[in-house]
Amino acid sequence: MTTGTSAPIPAALRTEALEQLLTERGLIDPVVMDGLITEYEVNIGPLNGAKVVAKAWTDPVYRQWLLDDSTAAIDELGFIGRQGEHIVVVENTPTVHNVVVCTLCSCYPWSVLGLPPSWYKDPAYRARVVKEPRTVLSEMGLDLADGVRITVHDSSSEVRWLVLPERPAGTENLSEEQLARLVTRDAMVGVAKVEAP
82-110 pLDDT per residue, tens = 555 789 999 999 999 999 999 887 688 88
Given a contact cutoff of 8 angstroms between Cβ atoms, the answer to whether 148 and 96 are in contact is yes
Residues noted as catalytic:
102, 105-107
* pLDDT at position 5: 59
Mean pLDDT, to the nearest integer, of 48-55?
A: 96
99-144 pLDDT per residue, tens = 999 988 768 888 888 878 889 989 999 999 999 999 999 999 999 9
* pLDDT at position 81: 66
| pTM, two decimal places | 0.79
Share of the chain above pLDDT 90, in %: 60
Q: What is the DSSP string of the chain?
A: -B-TTSPBPPHHHHHHHHHHHHHHTTS--HHHHHHHHHIIIIIITTHHHHHHHHHHHH-HHHHHHHHHSHHHHHHHTT---TT-SSEEEEE--SSEEEEEE-SSS----HHHH-SPPHHHH-HHHHHHHHH-HHHHHHHTT----TTPEEEEEE--SS-EEEEEPPPPTT-TT--HHHHHHH--HHHHHTSS-PPP-
pLDDT over 90 at 168, yes or no: yes
The amino acid at 22: L
